[in-house]
Structures are given as structure tokens and as C-alpha cells.
Amino acid sequence: MAQNPLSLPSRDPVLFAGLVAAVLLASAFAFQLAGYPPCELCWWQRYPYIAAVAVALLSKLVKALPAQLVLAMLALLFATDAGIAAFHVGVEQLWWEGLASCSAYVDMSGDMDAALDAIMKAPIVRCDEIAWSLFGISMAGYNFLIALGMTLFIAGKIGAGKGRKA
């Protein structure tokens, strides 16, 4: 009998956390491909998700890892991401000052003249400008809400002893 896919969060919270992180990363790259280049803080928000995917995959490959340790690491990664996202929202809302640098992607693998030309033409992506929002909430705001929700969800699983199936 097939299991209900909606039961995944309670059945395997580690796999669920890894999938959520992977979907959020894919979404971020999809927005980038759609013409929304990331600012420096946007890049910073991706790193905990990359680590969360790696932790979830590693826990599936190395069954000897204690489930409670894996869940604690995932909760810390999502909490870290929520903190970065909260800071980014504050910068977007001009509640506090952001980073001193702005960012732009430049391909440095080719000819130096072409790279210099690309640097001069690269868009400046500011952390304090909201590139996209829905219902008044920016991408950083949605990221904060999701990362905070995942932090609370995973933290709740740590004490419940429902790490993952053996």
C-alpha cells in the first residue's frame, strides 16, 4: 500500500528538511534565471540551504549518524538562514544599514579584456532594494518565514524522538 506523500514531514523529517532546502535553492536559482540577480545577502541565504541538503543526504548515506544530532544540525542551519533573512528584511525596509558592498556576477574564466568589459556592464544589485514581492512580502521575507517555520518544526522533532526511520 502506497504511503500518503503528505505524511513525509512526520514520517521522515530529515528527508523533508532536505527537500525543502533543495526546493528553496531551486526557486532562488529559478528567480535568478528569470532576471532577478541575487544581492550579496541573497547569496548568504543560500549557503545554509546548501549545507542542509548536504546534511540530509549524508544522513541517508551514513545510517550510523544519530538522528537527534542530524535534526539538531538541520535546526541550526534553518535558524541561521532565518537570521540572515531577518537581517536582509531589515536592510530592505531600511530599519538598519546593510553591507558596504553590492554584488554582481561576472564570468572571470575567459579573456581579461572581456572580463573587464563584463565588470563595467554588470548590474549592481543592492541589498536594500526589493526586487520582487508578493502581498507586500519580499523574497527575503518569505525566506525568513519558511526558514523560521522549518526551524520550529525540526526543533519540535528533536525532543519528540522522531528522527528518522532506521
Pairwise CA distance, residues 50 & 156, whole Å? 22
Q: What average pLDDT is seen over the chain?
A: 82
Task: Give me the pLDDT at residue 162, please.
Answer: 45
Q: What is the pTM of this model?
A: 0.77
Phi, psi of 133 (to 5 degrees): -150, 160
The DSSP line for 71-133 is HHHHHHHHHHHHHHHHHHHHHHTTSS---S--B-----SS-HHHHHHHHHHSPPB-TTS---E
Burial 9-39 (b: 16+ CB within 10 A, else e): beebbbbbbbbbbbebbeebeebeeeeebbb
Task: Give me the pLDDT at residue 131, please.
Answer: 79
pLDDT tens-digit series, residues 79-133: 999 999 999 898 887 788 777 665 555 556 667 777 677 666 666 677 667 776 6
Partners of residue 125 on adjacent β-strands: 103
Phi, psi of 94 (to 5 degrees): 60, 30
Pairwise CA distance, residues 111 & 119, whole Å? 12
Pairwise CA distance, residues 4 & 109, whole Å? 47
CA 38 to chain centre: 12
Pairwise CA distance, residues 143 & 47, whole Å? 13
Portion of the chain with pLDDT greater than 70, in percent:
74
Phi, psi of 41 (to 5 degrees): -70, -30
Reply yes or no on whether the pLDDT at 72 is more than 60. yes
Residue type, 125: V
pLDDT tens-digit series, residues 4-48: 555 666 688 999 999 999 999 999 999 888 888 888 888 899 999
